[in-house]
Every structure is written in structure tokens, then in C-alpha cells.
Chains A and B, each alone.
Chain A
Amino acid sequence: MKHHKHYTDEELLCFLDGEGDAAEVIHCWQCRVRMAELEKSVASFVHLKQDVLDVELPSGAGPASLLRARMSMYKPGRRYAPVALVCLLVGLYFVWPERRAVASYLPDQRVTPGATRLIAQDQVCVLSASEDERKPSQEMAKQVFEQYGIRNPQPRQFEVDYLIAPTLGGADDVRNLWPQPYADSVWNSRVKDALEDLLRAKVCKGEMDLAAAQHEMAANWVAAYQKHFRTKVPIEAHALFVKDKPWE
């Protein structure tokens, strides 16, 4: 048998990916081992992408209908299409669910941007446990429900939750409150609590700025959770949501 010139990584990868016209059997063990190593790198990259890099995407229903509407305005030769499109877009601005305050595991930024009270970094670390149990007043809760267009909130459906937790210097302010649905997401308040504890610990250890922690909570607490716990989905221990202890 003639001396075999080993394949390059590039050639081996092309075999693996079914690119090019090479479909020959590779007899050389050394080349096959190299192939397996490349395949292993592929696997670790795919896992990394799934576990860390990919974020949870919002539903595509709103964007899809916006696109459909915009396409329907463009008929060849229809001269008034631009005017009609503007009207449509203005209309959609008010109708498109993404644009309206919707109670979800993430608050609507326009209604609930988050609000803080003046507090020093080291004060956060000596806050008593009572900060933890702070509840918004009935009056404020009513206002919050109104803003989110919820007429008759059923008692077990929502929790009016602080966006920036009091333990992180969040204010008793309607702008810092939103109705968090109990049922419809794995991103529940228990999971959020775990993040708050972690961020508070980081702030107190001097690993993180208080303002940065507040900002991350307000901007997108789910993304912050995914980033700090390095996971796409809530850790099981955090996600086990016991609303009321069953024996009570």
C-alpha cells in the first residue's frame, strides 16, 4: 500500500459536513481519530450555544402579523400605500400586544421602569429581614392592576411584585411594581428571589456595584438570571415554586 498523506482538518470537516464531492471511506485510523476530535469540538460548541449563548426568544406572533400587515400594504402600483402604511403602523402601535402593558414574567418597561430609594451600598447589607417581607399597599396594588388593564384580579392569579427588590434598594413606588402572573411561566417570583439573593451577596462582597445590580434587575431580570447563574432555564431548586406551604 502506498504511503498515505493524512487529510487536513479542513478536508476532514468537509467529509463530516457532507460538503464537497468527497464521499470516500477513510481507512486511516489516525485520520479517523482526528475526525472524532473535530466532531467532539462540534458537540461542545453546540452545547455551549444551547446552554449559555442562546437566550429565550419572545413569541413570534406579534412580529409575524406586523409583517403580514406591512406586506399587504405593498401592492404593486398602489399609490397610496405609504399613507395607508403609516395609518396601519400607528394603529398597530396601539394594538400590537408587545406594545401594550401585558402582565408577564417581565414587566412592561414603559409602565414599570423600576424605581430606587436613596440608599448606600453598605446599608443594603445591613437591611433587616423585614425589608424582605415588605408588601405593597392595597392602594398601590390597585393602581398597578389598572395600569396593566387587569379589571378583576383573581386572588391567586397574580403577585404584585417589586421589580427592584427592597433588599436591593428598590422603592415603594408604582413604577417599581408589576403584576407577576403566578402560573404561566417557569420564571416565577421564587426564581427571581434567588437572583436577588445572589446579587445582594455580590454587592455586599464588593463584587458588584449596587447601581449595576439595580440596573440589571430593572432592565431584564430573566436575562440577568441567565447570565449570573449561567443557565438558560431556572435551576430546579429555584424553580420549585411553593406559593403557600401546603400544610398551612
Chain B
Amino acid sequence: MSAIRSQLVPWVWPQTTAKPSPVAEEVSQLFEEFRGAVLRYILSLGLPMQDAEDILQEVFLSLFHHLSKDKPRDNLRGWVFRVGHNLALKRRQSLKPADALPESLLMDPGMNPEEEVAARRERERMLKIVAALPERDRCCLLLRAEGLRYREIAATLNLSLGTVSATLARALSRLQVEPR
């Protein structure tokens, strides 16, 4: 009986009075929670803002379908980042195959006059290293800095846990302040 009812309800329910489904509510909340981090991450892959926002919509619509089908809901943050990462790479390929770096990594030497010379130099040194990292290493760092745990990073980039920790350790030791 209830099975029939649940089949019928969507047909009968007038659209105008439809309240957001619990899943839609949940996805809206997740959108609010993750939007900034995912958006920053997608931008860091070198995509323009408008494309990044488009991708975000796609990601969360997919999440909505995913959750509507009662699919597993563990590691949702990893799921969101993984779908975002994949869509972003696909979009980037169609936009600009050669240039993978975001603008912020390709800047001219600093011009901020109020900054101390030493601080500016250090920042330039860091930027150079970050720009020279293999993209996978840079992605690991950026995801970790957005708060993702290793298993979430592993899910996003389709790596093993061991690779994530080894990559992070290697990248961090490259960033290390030069010995005086």
C-alpha cells in the first residue's frame, strides 16, 4: 500500500505547494558548507569564475541525484571534491589545454611597497616552488589546506592513502624554509 502511495504522490502533489525534499534540504546545507572550499579549489585548477560556478551547480545536482538514490553517504566531502575535480579537469581541457596554472601562480614580481623585502622574497620563493610542483602534489596541498583528511584527498584524486601521505610529506619538505 505504501509503495503504491509513494509512487503516486509525486504525480498528485501540486508543484506549487511542494516543500523541498529532505534530500534537497540536505544538499542545500552541504552546498552552503562546501561551496567556498570547492570553488577555491576549482579556481586553483586554473578555471575562470563563471565556469567554476557552473561546475559547482553540476556537482551538487549530481550529489542530489546520488543521495536521492540512497547511495552510500560516507565520505561525502571527498565525493563532492572528486566530482568537482573531474568536471573541472574536463572543462579545463576544452578551454585551454596548455595552461594549467591559475593566474595567481603566474604573477609578476611583487610590487607591494609596504611589504618588507624579506617577506616579499620569501613569498616569491614559495610561489615559484608551488608553481613548479607536479599538479598532483599541488592538488594534495591545496585540498589538505581546505581541511580535507587523507582519505578524502585520496578519494578526490583517486590515489591510495599511502600516496597521499608520501606526496604531502615530499611537497612540504620542498617548501621548507631555506637553511641560512
| Chain A residues at the B interface, C-beta cutoff of 8 Å | 8-10, 12-14, 17, 19-20, 37-38, 40-42, 44-46, 48-49, 51-55, 57-58, 60, 63-64, 66-68, 70-72, 74-78, 84, 198, 207, 223, 226-231, 235-237
Contacts and interface: CB of A to CB of B under 8 A. Distances in A.
Contact of A52 (B68, B104, B145): B104
12 contacts: A9-B172, A10-B168, A17-B149, A19-B150, A38-B172, A58-B53, A63-B56, A72-B18, A72-B20, A74-B65, A77-B11, A78-B10
Given A68-B20, A231-B112, A223 B107 contact: no
Contact of A230 (B7, B102, B107, B170): B107
Chain B interface size range: 35 or more
A20 B149 CA distance: 11
B60 A41 contact: no
Contact of B111 (A46, A72, A198): A198
Nearest to A216: B103
A64 B32 contact: yes
Interface of B: 7, 10-11, 13, 15, 18, 20-21, 23-24, 27-28, 31-32, 35-36, 39-40, 43-44, 49, 53, 56-57, 60-61, 64-65, 68, 102-105, 107-108, 110-115, 120, 122-123, 126-127, 130, 141-142, 144-145, 149-150, 161, 165-166, 168-170, 172-173, 175-177
A44 B175 contact: yes
B28 A67 contact: yes
Given A9-B169, A13-B169, A38-B173, A53 B102 contact: yes
Given A42-B172, A60-B35, A55 B104 contact: yes
A70 B111 contact: no
Contacts of A54: 40
A228 B110 CA distance: 7
Contacts of A71: 20-21, 23-24, 27-28, 61, 64
A67 B31 contact: yes
* Chain B interface mostly: helix
A198 B24 CA distance: 48
A235 B104 contact: no
Contacts of A49: 142, 145
Nearest to A238: B114
Given A55-B43, A235-B113, 17 more contacts: A44-B175, A44-B177, A45-B130, A52-B123, A52-B127, A53-B44, A53-B142, A57-B36, A64-B35, A67-B60, A75-B18, A77-B7, A223-B103, A227-B103, A230-B112, A235-B112, A236-B114
Contacts of A19: 149-150, 161, 165
Contacts of B103: 223, 227
A68 B28 contact: yes
Contact of A58 (B24, B49, B60, B150): B49
A204 B54 CA distance: 39
Most buried by B among A58, A66, A67: A67
B69 to A, nearest CB: 9
Contacts of B28: 64, 67-68, 71
A63 B57 contact: yes
Contact of A227 (B21, B107, B113): B107
Nearest to B69: A76
B41 to A, nearest CB: 10
Contacts of B31: 60, 63-64, 67
A66 B57 contact: yes
Contacts of A84: 15
Most buried by A among B65, B115, B168, B170: B168
A10 B166 contact: yes
A48 B172 contact: no
A228 B111 CA distance: 6
A53 B68 CA distance: 35
Contacts of B115: 230
* Nearest 9 A/B pairs, CB to CB: A9-B169, A10-B169, A71-B24, A41-B172, A230-B110, A41-B175, A75-B10, A13-B169, A77-B10
